[in-house]
Structure 1
Amino acid sequence: MESTAQSRVFKYNIFFWKCLGLWSDETSGYCYKYYSVAFQSFYSGMFTFLYTLNLMFTPFDLEIIISQSMFYFTQWAQITKIAMIVLRRKYILRAFNMLDCTAFQGEDEETREIVNKNKCSYTNYWKACCVYYHIISLSIIILPIIKYFVNGTVIELPLCQYYFLGDNIREKYYKVLFAYQFTGIIMIMYSNLNTDTFINGFLMMAITQFKVLYWKLAHLDSSSLDQGVINEKDKEILMIDKLKQCLIHYDLILQYCNIIQDVMSFAIFGQFGTAAVTICVSMCFFLKPMTNEDLFITTFYLLAMIFQIFLPTYLGAELTEQSELIVTAAYNSDWIPRSESFKRSLGLLMERAKTPIVITGLKMFTLSLENFTSIMKMAYSLFTLLKNSQVEA
């Protein structure tokens, strides 16, 4: 694969997927498959099972239940995103091939600049998320340890207390349980980092291609032709050829959007289906007395959860808007002096572009800012309900 290929921007994602046992390629042997099954069983299957078992044995106290379930729904959302990588690998590779095709690279300096700018934007976005996710994950683990050495306070297990175990067993195997949750948090962090950025990266690529197509249609006029073309008939032939290239490009974009819809549908459903509860539980932490460390961790975690659903909805709304702008771009092209054949082809493109691209999660959650607002309202309603219940109790 060439270094200039668009799919190369996902090299960090693929690297960490391989480390996490989520991505096999033609060089992967049987040993990697065994490693993949064992690793995911240990850090996804058993981790989630023990977390669920912990909640089942958690004392029936609202404050304790909230504290024990803060990261629980995030883990379930992550399971759906892991399933996306493992089960939709064939479609992901198909999308990579489309991103690397000639039509998606840009045909001139202006369109190539649009594509290259997006590649740089995604790389910077991944790096920013990497820093932020590390701050959250390490603060959950490191701050209590620092507090232990400074103030001598007891270090609790970072995620949950495993109430299904007896006190004696927890004390006896405390270091083992702490190490398991410590490494589990790191694995969850890297998994979330590289699946969340991957989903948003696919959306960014689709938006970029619509911007490229918009530019090509908006500049579809005879002035863009070679000045050596004098004959009007030759100009018309070249204009029809340029329009055909735009039609082919548009058809490829639609195919790409269909592929990413198939790839992300279940993961979006899992992410948005648990978002309201996750944000609500995080907000409930502010109702109880907190140390500065707890305030720091909870604030950063809450912002991360909000951003985790805001960015896909924003990009989804941007994708819908850019797909609708194709009609405007086609109308602004130099179509008036063109032939009837040219006008009919352009008219068909405009008719198809009147139906905007909308990415959904199992046709239940749409990536739109209206949906983001609805989730935030639902989260606040649940928060108010729990707050009132806590006051009455």
Structure 2
Amino acid sequence: MLKKYVARLEDPNHPLLGPTLWGLQSWGMWQPNSGQSRIIYNLIHFAALLFLVSLYAELWFIRADPELALKNLSYTMLTTVCVAKAGTFVLWQTYWQDVIQFVSTLERSQLEKKDKTTCTIIEGYTKYSRNVTCFYWILVTATVFTVVFAPLGEFLSSSEQRELMLNGTIPFPEIMSSWVPFDKTKRFGYWFQIVEHSVICLYGGGIVANYDANTVALMSFFCGQLELLVANSKRLFSEDGKLVSYSEAMERIKQCHMHHLSLIKYSKIFNSVLSPVMFLYVVICSLMICASAILLTKGTTTTMQRMWVAEYLVALISQLFLYCWHSNQVYFMSERVDRGIYESEWWQCGVRLRRCVVLLGGQLRKTIIFQAGPFTNLTIATFIAILKGSYSYYTLLSKNEG
């Protein structure tokens, strides 16, 4: 059913990015037009930034309680990532527009030629991107509902705790723990925070789902275009088993050269806006995987809290894995893209064409890889290293507590 809904969001001007651009625009990150709506969305983003400040303030006040601080740290770090994704997307809107415009323009021009191989490859990675988008939306929706309804589940899970809450002996459970300039344990303050935190969860969920789905779609685009470049390189000098003319072969070499140059150029722009956010995300993931493991193994943690932490941990690892996996796929494909020309009929061509083949091969040896800041690349090896590091931190902290 979700796939049918996503199909309604298709945009002929953006063959790949129609649904993700709709999501980005709905949550105020994609702002192609100026006007009152842009001002309203930017005010919402600014309000989210102020809420993040309140989370850090609360974290300072509760620093003496390690368990409560760890739980609050989970929300604080997740909100930090959400604000960073929304803020950088808005601030670097021009660069995002350049990349998105390039992707859509290139795909439209390729589809207009109605080449069978080209259409098959584009349809393949477009369908894959739609599946990833649906998965992201489902994953984030489940996370948001789990977070929002966790206090209700905690309230209903134990009759003894429920009586203590109703008697005022212990406070009612919260969605998050943020600082406010009034008593948040009383009726008005408590319900104000419940509404505020529910709205923030919806906001943050939309930011994460749409930003990540758009990013993975763009990574799939670069991977698919490199695959298309391999296919075009194989048929540089022949078509249906027959050699093409010298002028046609030169034109195909030129097109492959320009195709790869444009992919390199816009992948660097894409990496420049993605890399700072991913650096922050990698650092936070390393900390939060460790913190979540500690919360899961604490004896004082309730069953509902453990369920929330487990779901949060799965979502965290899944998002990091998808980033590293797709970036690794792009790198792997860019490593082998130059092999396509050597699988063509270059050996049947003259010396002048062979020289052009050597020059094209040198260009295609340039690889594409996305980074998390200046220190590490987004690869499967990085993902495994993060998990190993988090486990090492967890083991160290567990021994210190013991």
TM-score, normalised to structure 2's length?
0.87
Superposition RMSD in Å: 2.3
Structure 1 partner of 2:277: 267
The answer for the alignment partner of 1:216 in structure 2 is: 232
Cα offset for 1:150?
Answer: 6.8
Write the deviation string for residues 112-142 of structure 1: whole angstroms up to 9, x where unpaired. 1110121111112111111111111101222
SS in 2 for 1:159: coil
Segment of structure 1 superposing worse, 284-293 or 379-388: 284-293
1:330 paired residue number: 341
Counterparts in 2 of 1:165 and 1:380: CA distance versus 1, 3 Å: farther
CA distance, structure 2, for counterparts of residue 114 and residue 275 of structure 1: 34
**Which blocks of at least 5 consecutive residues in structure 1 are unaligned?**
none
Aligned mate of 1:202, from 198, 214, 218 = 218
| Residues 1:340 and 1:4: Cα distance change in structure 2 (over 3 Å) | farther
Partner residue, 1:276? 286
Residue 322 (structure 1) shift: 0.5
In the alignment, the residues of structure 2 paired with residue 16 and residue 156 of structure 1 have an alpha-carbon distance, to the nearest angstrom, of: 32
Superposed CA deviations along residues 51-100 of structure 1, whole A, max 9, x for unmatched, are: 00011001413222212212221222222211221122111111122112
Alignment-derived partner of residue 364 in structure 2? 353
Q: Once structures 1 and 2 are overlaid, which stretch shifts more, 185-194 or 60-69?
A: 60-69
2:186 partner SS: helix
Equivalent residue in structure 2 for 1:380, among 377, 387, 391: 391
SS in 2 for 1:71: helix
- 2:144 touches 2:205 (CA, 8 Å); kept in 1? yes
Return the alpha-carbon distance in structure 2 between the equivalents of residues 22 and 174 of structure 1. Answer: 30
Provide the identity percentage: 17
* Residues 74, 278 of structure 1: 8 Å contact kept: no
Query: In structure 2, what is the equivalent of residue 158 of structure 1?
Result: 175
Q: 2 CA distance for matches of 1:145 and 1:325?
A: 53
1:301 Cα shift? Answer: 1.2
Deviations 1:258-302 (A, max 9, x none): 221122122112211211002111111211234443333222211
What is the DSSP-based 3-state SS (H/G/I as helix, E as strand, rest coil) of the residue aligned with 1:130? helix
Range with greater deviation from structure 2 (199-208 or 337-346) = 337-346
From 59, 73, 78, give the equivalent of 1:69.
73
- Which residue identity is paired with 1:363? P
- Equivalent residue of 1:69, what SS? helix
1:118 to 1:183, Cα distance in 2 relative to 1, 3 A: same
Quote the residue 1:135 is aligned against.
142
Deviations 1:168-227 (A, max 9, x none): 4532411101111111111111111111112211111100100101111123342437x7
1:25 partner letter: P
Counterparts of 2:389 and 2:363 in 1: how far apart (Å)? Answer: 35
* Partner in structure 1 of residue 128 of structure 2: 121
TM-score normalised according to structure 1 size: 0.89
1:327 is displaced (CA, Å) by: 1.8
- In structure 2, the CA distance between the partners of 1:33 and 1:99, relative to structure 1 (3 Å rule), is closer
- How much has 1:377 moved relative to structure 2? 1.5
CA contact (8 A) 1:210 1:323 kept: yes
In structure 2, the CA distance between the partners of 1:350 and 1:148, relative to structure 1 (3 Å rule), is same
One-letter code of the match for 1:241?
E
**Is residue 16 from structure 1 mapped to residue 23 from structure 2 by the alignment?**
yes
Contact kept, 8 Å, 2:250 with 2:353, in 1: the verdict is: yes
1:102 and 1:384 map into 2 onto residues whose CA distance is: 50
Q: Which moved more, 1:102-111 or 1:47-56?
A: 102-111
Q: Secondary structure of 2:74's match? A: coil
Question: 1:303 aligned to 2:314?
Answer: yes
Question: Contact 1:312–1:367 at 8 Å: present in 2 too?
Answer: yes
Instruction: Judge conservation of contact 2:229–2:260 (CA < 8 Å) in 1.
Output: yes
* Cα-to-partner distance string for 1:291-327 (whole Å, 9 max, x where unaligned): 4433332222111111111111111111111111112
Q: Alpha-carbon deviation of 1:144?
A: 2.9
Structure 2 vs 1, CA of residues 71 and 143 (structure 1 numbering), >3 Å: closer, same or farther?
closer
Distance 1:60 1:196 in 2: 35
Q: Deviation of residue 146 (structure 1)? A: 4.5
In the alignment, the residues of structure 1 paired with residue 273 and residue 350 of structure 2 have an alpha-carbon distance, to the nearest angstrom, of 41
Q: Does 1:34 align with 2:39?
A: yes
Question: Residue 248 in 1 paired to residue 263 in 2?
Answer: no
Aligned match of 1:341: 352
Aligned length: 378
Unaligned runs of 5+ in 2: 1-9, 166-171
Deviations for 1:311-368, whole angstroms, at most 9, x for unmatched residues?
A: 1111111111111111211111111121222212221221233232121133223111
